[in-house]
Amino acid sequence: MKILITGGAGFIGSALVRHLIQSTGHSVVNVDKLTYAGNLTSLDSVSASPRYVFEHQDICNAAALERIFAQHQPQAVMHLAAETHVDRSIDGPAAFVHTNLVGTYTLLETARQYWARLPKEDQFSFRFHHISTDEVYGDLANTEDLFTERTPYAPSSPYSASKAGADHLVRAWHRTYGLPVLITNCSNNYGPYHFPEKLIPLIILGALAGRPLPVYGRGEQIRDWLYVEDHARALQRVIEAGTPGETYNIGGHNEQRNIDVVHAICDLLEALAPKHPAGVTRYADLITHVTDRPGHDLRYAIDASKIQTQLGWTPRETFSSGLRKTVQWYLSNPQWLDSLQDARSQGQRLGLSGIGQ
């Protein structure tokens, strides 16, 4: 297939693009606005492939999307472009409403109009895959509960509310217009090329620099962690074999308290980077508890049995193996961190946001 991927320069998007180019015969058209978290350096390993094309565009620009669809004639869309950081959504929700809702609407309408003009056999095989989050479900009060595809939506933050709204738009375009859509809701991703405002890369890089390691409250919030390359494999299975109109939850079967994640990173760094920053005796001594953020969900946990039984996907990485790979990658790839500074300079030239923590 030729697949149009939005947000393909971001963390999950770039992992998906690398996987599709390196491990399948699919072609990719990557549409990305290159905001602060988008980094083309993450795609250096595939950027020269004849099956890869980059389009520097905003998904809110209908005219640009119409041109891209007409020029590239995709057979599927995988929609990952989004504002994703909860703290940023609390400080500035307008950008999340604009990108996650208006952008999804614009992409849906452009895709629908393109799809409606296709020959019947191409309409039948076309897919619009919307990649979402488990945060749309809110949190779980009972420690034995799991999010299923039938869990009612109860988003807590401006970010999760905007993603929930996008999910509803996608379902409406399927029910009203017949657009063949797929939705996936995933748990917390981690792995290489992760922008360092998110927990795991923030802790790794903060510890190596000898900075305080901030933990919200007592760090007892529980998340299900999914290695990003496992997620990319799951997304491939859904776009190739998923049933239109269906939702698939994707989880790593790796529930961890935030404080335990931070301690696990510190323990790995003691073994893999035993030379401490000046004035630091143990990495764990840098842990600093800070005031909890508003509306912080206590626990997320995914029931991924549907995608396992219907599509045959299971994660390959345990949390232990995936976290070790992640820490080793950051230790071995300081040049990628340097590229973030280049991205900041590029963002300033383009009038985009700079890099923030």
What is the maximum span of the chain, computed from C-alpha positions, in angstroms? Answer: 68
- Which sign does the torsion angle of CA 274, 275, 277, 279 carry? positive
Tokens of 353: 């946001």
Report the SS3 class of residue 321.
helix
Distances (CA, A) of 5 to 12, 30, 32, 34, 338: 11, 5, 8, 13, 26
In contact, 108 and 161? CB cutoff 8 Å: no
Which residues make beta-bridge pairs with 215? 289
Grouping H, G, I as helix, E, B as strand and the rest as coil, residue 30 is: strand
135 tagged catalytic: yes
Q: What is the pLDDT of residue 142?
A: 65
Angle among Cα 55, 19, 125 to the nearest 5 degrees reads 70
- What is the tens place of the pLDDT at every residue in 60-117? 999 999 999 999 999 999 999 999 888 899 999 999 999 999 999 999 999 999 999 9
Amino acid at 345: S
Specify whether 230 is catalytic.
no
Q: Where are the domains of the chain?
A: 2-190+228-253+296-316+339-350
Please report the pLDDT score of residue 342 as a whole number: 54
Distance CA 137, CA 151 (A): 7
Catalytic residue among 137, 159, 227, 330: 159
Tens place of pLDDT for every residue, the chain, 357 residues?
999 999 999 999 999 999 999 999 999 999 999 998 899 999 999 999 999 999 999 999 999 999 999 999 999 999 999 998 888 999 999 999 999 999 999 999 999 999 999 999 999 999 999 999 999 999 887 677 899 999 999 999 999 999 999 999 999 999 999 999 999 999 999 999 999 888 999 999 999 999 999 999 999 999 999 999 999 999 999 999 999 999 999 999 899 999 999 999 999 999 999 999 999 999 999 999 999 888 888 899 999 999 999 999 999 999 999 999 999 999 999 888 887 765 444 433 322 222 222
| pLDDT (tens digit per residue) in 143-191 | 778 999 999 999 999 999 999 999 999 999 999 999 999 999 999 999 9
The tally of CA atoms less than 13 A away on the side-chain side of residue 43 is 28
| In this structure, CATH architecture of domain 2-190+228-253+296-316+339-350 | 3-Layer(aba) Sandwich (3.40)
Find how far residue 196's CA is from the centre of its chain. Answer: 13
Q: Which of 32, 58, 83, 134 is catalytic?
A: 134
Residue of 32, 135, 230, 297 marked catalytic: 135
Q: Are 32 and 54 in contact (CB under 8 A)?
A: yes
Task: Identify the pLDDT of residue 341.
Answer: 61
Q: How far apart are the first and last CA of the chain?
A: 37
